[in-house]
Structure 1
């Protein structure tokens, strides 16, 4: 992928205006953050979306919720932060009455696939194209029944 395509994507997707818009959107919300106990530095966060859908999902809206983002600081990898964030997202989804949670993951992101498929019991239910600039990538759609 050309570096300029990635830079444009990051500028657009993570601009202050875009983040502010997502924070105030009642369908997309920041749900949970993890912080270092000593430094209080942000180690990761989960963002869920009630309004998105994919045709391949086995359970359809309004009974499903998207795990739109789950990010951890690279220094927090292999420390259980991602699993704690996932547990909070699953707990919230169950408490709110959702029957499934789903996400998209890049087909070449093997580490993330292992996290979702093996550790957290998601199933691959389809694929979709994800465009970044002039590049079209394939994302796997993963779903977990709750």
Structure 2
């Protein structure tokens, strides 16, 4: 399998929106109420929302291609303060998602490597992320790559509530 990682542009918004909807549903569809999930996907991952997010100067997206097919993506938000962190200008690893059929091919790792390079280029000292506390695979992935659990918070959307682990990785 030939793997390529490229930075996304506004021209990739449709691809990103579709990948985001599919990968989120694959990862979490089993724990969400179907109607609430439909509303969340429409609210969070529309093409217009993706275009707006890509256009923000502090957001960087990457797309992963396997044999020229889009199979995953990542998002970094530069200067994303979190009130429980001492660093006033940390970056946030907001998303790394890979289609289920491609998990296990180091695509998530390659996306993360591209993201880490951007963090270093930007001179960021702290990278943080939030991961659903029931996603042990993701938590283990991040721990293997130097993230440590820092704190927790609760996220509510309509009738659903989820607990998240906030994980932190220091840089330079």
Superposed displacement of residue 35, structure 1:
1.0
Partner Cα distance (1:89, 1:108) in 2: 24
Whichever structure has more helix as a proportion of its residues is 2
Q: How does 1:51-130 map to 2 (within 5 A)?
A: 51-61=79-89, 64-117=90-143, 119-130=144-155
Partner Cα distance (2:86, 2:113) in 1: 22
Q: Look up the match of 2:46.
A: 15
Q: Look up the match of 1:43.
A: 71
Structure 1: where are the runs of 5+ without partners? none
Deviations 1:33-76 (A, max 9, x none): 2211xx30012111111242222224231xx1111111111121
Q: Look up the match of 2:19.
A: none
TM value normalised by structure 1: 0.89
Partner Cα distance (2:148, 2:87) in 1: 12
TM value normalised by structure 2: 0.76
Please report the RMSD computed on the Cα atoms of aligned residues, expressed in angstroms. Answer: 1.3
Aligned residues: 140
Q: 1:132 aligns with which of 145, 148, 157?
A: 157
8 Å contact 1:28–1:51 — kept in the other structure? no
Superposed displacement of residue 77, structure 1:
0.5
